[in-house]
Chains A and B, each alone.
Chain A
C-alpha cells in the first residue's frame, strides 16, 4: 500500500520545550486519519512540519515519498493546509478569496473558474459568497476555508481542528463535506482534533498523541475493543493513565 505520510522518529524542540519526541506514524493513501489529543500534545506542530511550515529538529517526514525538508516545493504542490482558527481576508468577498487561492494552482482562467465553482458547491454558501468575509459567521468562514482546502483536489489535505468552535449544525456540515469529498475524489485527509467523539465517527484510523508521542494507533473500533472502552475518550484516559 502507498503511504501518503510516513513519519519516522520525528522530534521538534522549541528551545527547551520538547513539542514532539520521537514520533512515528504512517497514513495510507485515501484514508481520513485523525490525530487526537489534548491541547499542547503536539498535534499542530506535527501538522505544521508535514505542511513544510516548520523544520524537524530530527527525524524524517515523507509525503507520498517526498521529503518535507529537501523536497518542500514538491510537497507544497500536492498538499493543502488549513490552520486551526484560520481566517479569510476580511475585505475580500468569499468568491474573491477562493479566486485568489485558486490562482496559485490553476494553469489558466478556465481552471480557476472551475475550481471556484467546485468550492462554491462544497461550501454551500450560495449568494453569500458575494459578501465580504468579515460579515461571515465563524461557521460560514470555516466552511469557506474547508472548501478552499479541498477545491483543488489535493493528494493530501491537512486540516487542523476543522470543526473547532463550531456549533452542531456547522460541525455536521463540515464533517459531511470532508467525508463525501474523500469518497468522491480519493483525497487523503489528515486532521487533528481534541474532540475524540467527533473523530471516532469521521476517521478511518486515529493516532492518540500525548506529550509529543503517539501513545496508541489504529481503527477507532479496534482501539475501543483493545482497551475495553465505550469511546475514544475512555481509551485516551486509560492509555495516559488517568483511568
Chain B
C-alpha cells in the first residue's frame, strides 16, 4: 500500500465534497437534470401520441360499396372521423376542407376499394387495394409523423382482422398547401438536420458564449484589472459593450465552425435520403427564404446578447473564474430543457402552462423561430425577436447599472446561505 495514500484520499474527498460548487455541479445537478430530461422525453412522446389519438381524420370516400363503410367504421374506433364523399385530395386541400374539419390527416378511399377487396376475398384474386394517406407537414419536430404512423398501424390491424395485405397505404405529404408525393417519414428524415442541428447549435453556442463572457469578467475581477479599468477616464458602458462584443465575436466564430461541421455530418444522411427520393428541401419549399434567414439571424443575435448580458451580471457576483462558471451553470437548464423539448415536439402542442414557460424562456425563441420561418410563419419569429429584445434591454440596463456603480466590485453571492444574496463585502480593507 502506498504510504500516505489513505490520508491524501480522505483529505481530497473532504475538500471536494465540502466544496458547494462541486457538490452542486457534479452530484446534485446531474441527479436533477437527467430525470428532468428523461421526463421531457417521455412527456414529448406521450403528448405526441395522445395528440395523434385525439386527432380527427378526414376521409374522402369515393367508393359507394360496403367495404369502405367497414373501413370507416373500424377507423372510427381509433380516431374521430369526418367523411366527405366524391372528392379528390387535391380538391379537399384547395377547398380548405382540412381547416374546416380542423385536421391534418386525410385518407382517400379510391372508387375501386370495395371491388378489389371483394375480388381478393371471394375470387382469391391477388389484387391489392390502396388507400391514400395525406399528412399535413408543419415542421414541428422529430415526432411529427406520429399521426401517419397511427394510420399505418390501423391499416395493419385492419389487414390482420380481414385478410392479409388486402389494403396498402400510399403515403403523401401536404406541404404548404401543396400535395407532394413524399412520405411524412421521409420528409421528417429530410428535416432531421434542422430539427436536431438548430437546437443543439443554439445550445452549444449559448453555453460557450456565456462561459466566455463570465470567464472574461471573472478574470478581470480575479486579476483586479477590472478595478484598473473602472478607474480610467472612460465610459463604463464601453467596458460592458466591449466585453459583450468580444464574446459575441468569439462565440460566433465558434458557432460557425460548429454548424459547418455538424451540417456536414447531418448532410451525409440528408443527401442519402434526397438521392433515394429525388427530393430536396428547396424544391419542397422547406428551406427558409432570405428574409426568413434574416429573421433567424436577428433572433439568434438578440438571444445571444441577452445570454451574454445575463452571464456578465452573474459573474459580477462571483469572486473568481471558478465561481463565475458555477453561477452561469445555473442558467444551463433554461437552455437545455427548451432545446431538447422542441427537438421532439411543437411548442403549440404543449399544455398551456408549459407553453407559457417555454415562451417565457428567451433561449427558446431562436429554435421556435427556425421552425416558424421554414414554414413561412414570420410573425412568430418577429414576436420572439420583440420579446427577447425587451428582455435583453432589461438585462442590459441592469448590467449597465451594475457597471456604473460600486456594486460590480462589492457584490458577492455566497453559496453558504443563499439567503445572504447580494450581500456587499469590503474584501480586504
A residues bordering B, Cβ < 8 Å?
12, 14-15, 17, 19-20, 39-45, 48, 51-55, 73, 76-77, 79-90, 101, 104-105, 212
Contacts and interface: CB of A to CB of B under 8 A. Distances in A.
B424 A15 contact: yes
**Top 3 closest pairs, chain A to chain B, by CB:** A87-B223, A86-B224, A81-B231
Nearest to A52: B231
Contact of B429 (A15, A41, A86): A41
Contacts of B219: 90
A147 to B, nearest CB: 13
B233 A73 contact: yes
Given A14-B410, A53-B231, A87-B225, 19 more contacts: A14-B424, A14-B425, A39-B428, A42-B429, A43-B429, A44-B427, A44-B428, A52-B231, A53-B227, A54-B409, A76-B232, A83-B224, A84-B224, A84-B428, A85-B224, A87-B222, A87-B223, A87-B224, A104-B233
Question: Which interface residue of B231, B410, B423, B424 has the most chain A CB atoms within 10 A?
Answer: B231
Contacts of B223: 86-90
Contacts, number: 79
Nearest to B427: A44
A153 to B, nearest CB: 14
A19 B227 contact: no
Given A14-B424, A76-B233, A82-B228, A53 B429 contact: no
Contacts of B428: 39-40, 44, 84
Interface of B: 219, 222-225, 227-228, 230-234, 405-406, 409-410, 423-429
Contacts of A40: 428-429
Contact of B231 (A14, A43, A51, A89): A51
B190 to A, nearest CB: 44
Nearest to A55: B406
A81 B232 CA distance: 8
B426 A14 contact: yes
A73 B404 CA distance: 12
16 contacts: A14-B424, A15-B423, A20-B429, A40-B429, A44-B427, A44-B429, A51-B227, A52-B231, A76-B231, A81-B231, A87-B222, A87-B223, A90-B219, A101-B228, A104-B233, A104-B234
Contacts of A84: 224, 428
